[in-house]
Amino acid sequence: MIINAYFTDGYYDWGKLFLDSFAYHNGQDYKMILNTKDLNKKQIDGLYKSYKNLEVKNEELDWDHLEKISGIKKSQLSKWKNITEKQKVNKTIRAWKLMIAGDDRIKTIRDLLYELPEGEHVAHFDIDTYVTGNMTDLFEFVKQNDFCTRLRIEKQIKRKGKVFRENRATLIYFQGYSINKKGKEFIDTWIKYIDKVNPANRQKGYGQTSCYYAILDMWKKYGKDGFRCNDTKKLQKWANANKGDKKGLVKRYREKFEQLKIKGKK
């Protein structure tokens, strides 16, 4: 099992908290691969101090490429990046998140799936994750599926007889992959949907919408028994920064974690 996350430099404090809290509850034997953007040497060294079985794959953000595909000037994108990393995303700046979390991150996962050997498994987490428990059951669940994430498809169908909010049919803060033919085909299909829409024109939650479309395509081709894709809800042992400002919340979770360590030593 490979543990994976992706983040830009402004999420460094979240990266440290994720590593520290994961190690506290799950040990440091799992291989951890972090795909990062624009971290400096001091930051990278700090990550290696937090987790022994770690590989940091750091790259520079390609601002020229981001400007080209979005049609938005680099200066504006940089401002949006800073707001996204410290505050809650709003509709004005969502193009940045949709290019990073809903596009580049997914393509980085795709590259990782093609780099690793067949038969391996990947558990990918949003970096703004505070781990609160042991995840052995979750990782066993990943191994039983071609792809798994938080699904709200059946919930919506039960409520209104159909999926009425496609951008909430999946919640992709956690993604589990088996590296096999169908796992790779799924993420390739997902990326095809992502690339169909210019980042500046993507609607709220398009990363989740496009994930839903790819799942439907795979079920149509293979059936639900043929493409194993199931909901991870009952196996969640972490908290995400989906409410409030990012900077304030990581501070509060860090304080909570430090108190937990103190109690654990008593």
Average pLDDT over residues 158-171: 94
Q: Which among 211, 206, 214 is positioned nearest to 175, based on CA atoms?
A: 211
Cα–Cα distances in angstroms (integers) from residue 34 to residues 15, 48, 119, 264, in the given order: 9, 11, 20, 27
How confident is the model over 230-248, as a mean pLDDT?
A: 87
Q: Is the pLDDT of residue 253 over 90?
A: yes
Where does the pLDDT of residue 28 fall: very low under 50, low under 70, confident under 90, or very high at 90 and above?
Answer: very high
Mean pLDDT value across residues 44-71: 95
Helix (H, G, I), strand (E, B) or coil at 164: coil
Q: How many CA atoms are closer than 13 Å to the CA of 253, on its beta-carbon side?
A: 27
Interval 7-28 mean pLDDT: 97
Please determine, for residue 266, whether its predicted confidence score (pLDDT) is greater than 60. no
91-105, 140-154, 177-191, range with the lowest pLDDT? 91-105
Task: Quote the mean pLDDT of the chain.
Answer: 94
Residue with tokens 């391996």: 120
Confidence of residue 200 (pLDDT cuts 50, 70, 90): confident
Q: Cα-flanking dihedrals φ and ψ of residue 211, to 5°? A: -65, -45
Average pLDDT for 230-239: 95
Per 3-state DSSP, the chain is made up of helix, strand and coil in percentages (nearest 5) of 55, 20, 25
pLDDT at 201: 87
Identify the band that residue 243 occupies on the pLDDT scale cut at 50, 70 and 90: low
Domain spanning 2-265: CATH 1.10.3720.10: no
Tokens at 150, concatenated = 């938080």
pTM, two decimal places: 0.95
pLDDT band at 151 (very low <50, low <70, confident <90, very high): very high
38: phi > 0 → left, psi -120 to 50 → alpha, else beta; which? left
CA pair distance 171, 104, nearest whole angstrom: 17
Q: pLDDT grade, residue 265 (50/70/90)?
A: low
